[in-house]
Amino acid sequence: MERTYLMVKPDGVQRGLVGQIISRFEQRGYKIVGLKMMQIARETAEKHYGEHAGKPFFTGLVDFITSGPVVAMVVEGKDVVVTAREMMGATNPLKAIPGTIRGTYGVDVGRNVIHGSDSVESANREIAIFFKPEELVEYGRAIDTWIY
Ligand code: ABT
Ligand code: MG
């Protein structure tokens, strides 16, 4: 089964949106296999956002993601990488369709509430940055036979 890395950003935590955001993925049928709150070290943030190093918004982006606690999770399910991105909505909340997470909660590109891996390769890379293998749990759910 495919896995993705999702993270409620500091703005989402401060605004009390953690539960509602996690609920969306649970209700869709996805399985949480890793979950923790943490304060990201600057070095880790720079690694996570490595693809944006040197861009004008990079320093502000790292400042923001390290500015407060985040809630990190690994979520598992069929085609979860693409589907989670659809559920999140566009990067720029002004382009995010109403009903998506960003289209429901955000109005600014630099405060867009949630992160989700943009490909299976990114997911594997990001999961390895934020979770140790022993922090991920394998378990079955009776409900899975009603989802798949
Ligand atoms: P992330 O989940 O944060 O990676 O967002 P997403 O993949 O949807 O968008 P990308 B392109 O990866 O942007 C990363 C963060 O950089 C911010 N950003 C991006 C700007 O502030 N200005 C810009 O011009 C662009 C392209 C938005 C993203 N996150 N935040 N917060
Ligand atoms: Mg991205």
Determine the average pLDDT of the residues in 4-32. Answer: 98
Please report which ligand is nearest the Cα atom of 88.
1
Pocket test for ligand 1, best of 5, 15, 61 (most atoms within 8 A of CB): 61
Per-residue pLDDT at 93: 82
Mean pLDDT across 116-121:
98
Mean pLDDT of 56-83: 98
pTM recorded for the entire structure: 0.95
ipTM score for this prediction: 0.89
Instruction: Please name which ligand lies nearest the alpha carbon of 91.
Output: 1
Angle at 109 between CA 16 and CA 2, to 5 degrees: 70
Per the document, the length of the chain is: 148
Q: What is the mean pLDDT of the chain?
A: 97
Give the pLDDT score at 8.
98
**Residue 24, phi then psi, degrees to nearest 5:** -60, -40
Q: Please list, in sequence order, all residues whose beta carbon lies within 8 angstroms of the beta carbon of residue 139, skipping any fewer than 6 positions away.
A: 33
**Residue 52 bears catalytic tag:** no
The amino acid sitting at 61 is L
Q: What percent of the chain has pLDDT over 90?
A: 98
Q: 20: which 2 tokens?
A: 């509602």
| Nearest Cα to Cα of residue 17 among 69, 67, 65, 86 | 69
Given a cut of 90, whether residue 148 has pLDDT beyond it is yes
Which pLDDT value is given to residue 74?
98
